[in-house]
Each structure stands twice: as structure tokens, then as C-alpha cells.
Amino acid sequence: MSTKVALGAGAVALLHASAAAARSAKLLVFVQTGIKQRALQQLLQYALPNLSVTTVGRVADFGRGLAEGQDAILTLPIVMNARGIAPQVLGRRGGANDEPYSLVGANGPPAVASLRTVGAIDMLDRAGTNALVQNLVGKPVKVERVTKVEDLLPLLQLSRADAVLLPSRLFSDLKATSSLNLEQRELPMRLGLPALASVGASGAEAVAQASKLTGKAAQLLGVDSWS
């Protein structure tokens, strides 16, 4: 092997090592969006090349991911608070760090007074999600929990829920996938947008990198800036 070839091989190895080191900080993402988790992970990884990004869609997977060790997390403040973690950088949209939620039903806006069963995405444990939904709705209701946005629609189609609950910004996505005449009723209570928090040794670095997220990836999370 010539000296030039050896030097070239060494440079390539060094570049690979540098890239691996640059992506050593781990970011765990637990946010439900209108696209599948694998597509979301690919989009976020492309947008954040200096981080190792993992997205999950289930509460149990989020818990396991935390237990395995992460540097930072990106999820809703209510999810962080349930685990004793304080948000450090808040996602914002239109200058606000929270967003409205809506009840969605078929053939007319859901009447809160007549609700008995509400479908919702499971972001906490059973008791936590039930309490959150009832708090948002403002009355005791039975809660049908699902793990994905697309799983909400069958609850209405099969009459397993009188209405489903989701961020108001996702209503148009849900409506576009259904032949039902869907209508929404926005609720007065708002919930915090996705936020960032350090949970590991390289957390400050991971949070700093993730808070640069903009464009389509950030928009899918409902965020247009961070503070």
C-alpha cells in the first residue's frame, strides 16, 4: 500500500469516527403526528444529522427507551411532568407554547353534555390518560385509548366512541382520510406543545442541537420555533 493510499484510508476512517462521535448524543422522541413513526424518525434524523434519533409511539416504549439511557427527550410537557422531568426548551407556534384540542364527531360538532365515550391517544398510563381526557372534556367519560392518530377514526366508524380528542391542528388530516362528515368542537383548555429536556450526560448538547429543528419536521410536531 502506498503512503498516499494509507493516508487516504486513514482520513476516511477519521471522518467516519468523527461522524460517529458527532452522532453519539441520543434523542428520544415521543410525539404523535399525522405520519407513521418510521417516517417521522427518518425525517427527524435527516433534519438532525448530529444526533442519534429514536422515535416511539407507545407509552411503554417511551419508558423502556428512557431506562436504556438517553441524553435528551422530545415530548409533551405533560408526559415529562408525569415522570418528574422538567421541560427546558419549549416548542412554540405563533408565539404560544400551547395549543387547543378539539372533540371530533360525525354529522355535527360533538355535544359535550351528551358524551359518554371519548377516544384519545394514549400519552400517559391508563389512569393518567383517563384523567387528562376527563379534565379536557370537563366531565367524567369512558376513555377508549389508542396508540396512533389513524386509530382514532375507526372508533367513530365503528361507533365505539361518541367523539375523539386530538390537537385541533390534526383535524384536517383526520378529515381528509375519512368519508364520514366529521366536525370539530374546540375545547377551552389548551395543552403544551412538544418540548425538550436533558436526561443524560450529553443532554445539553442534544437539546442545543434539537432546538435548531425547523421546517417540515418541526411543523409536523406542531412547532415553528423553540425558546
For residues 102 and 187, membership in a common domain is answered with yes
**CA separation for the pair 38, 126 (Å, rounded):** 25
For residues 31 and 45, membership in a common domain is answered with yes
Residue type, 104: V
Kindly indicate the confidence band of residue 105, based on its pLDDT and cuts at 50, 70 and 90: very high
Tell me the CA distances in angstroms from 145 to 64, 101, 149, 174, one per residue in order: 20, 16, 11, 17
pLDDT tens across 149-199, in order? 999 999 999 999 999 999 999 999 899 988 899 999 999 999 999 999 999
Q: Kindly state the helix (H) or strand (E) to which residue 184 belongs, with its residue range.
A: strand 182-192
**CA separation for the pair 25, 53 (Å, rounded):** 9
Q: Residue 33 is part of which domain span?
A: 24-95+193-226
For residues 29 and 47, membership in a common domain is answered with yes
pLDDT tens across 17-26, in order? 444 444 589 9
For residues 184 and 74, membership in a common domain is answered with no
Secondary structure (DSSP) of 13-30: HHHHHHHHHHT-SEEEEE
Q: Is 83 exposed, middle or buried (0-12, 13-18, 19+ CB in 10 A)?
A: middle
**CA separation for the pair 162, 141 (Å, rounded):** 10
**Of 224, 223, 205, the residue nearest 48 (C-alpha):** 205
Q: What is the pTM of this model?
A: 0.88
Residue 8 in domain? no
Which CATH number do you get for residue 60? 3.40.190
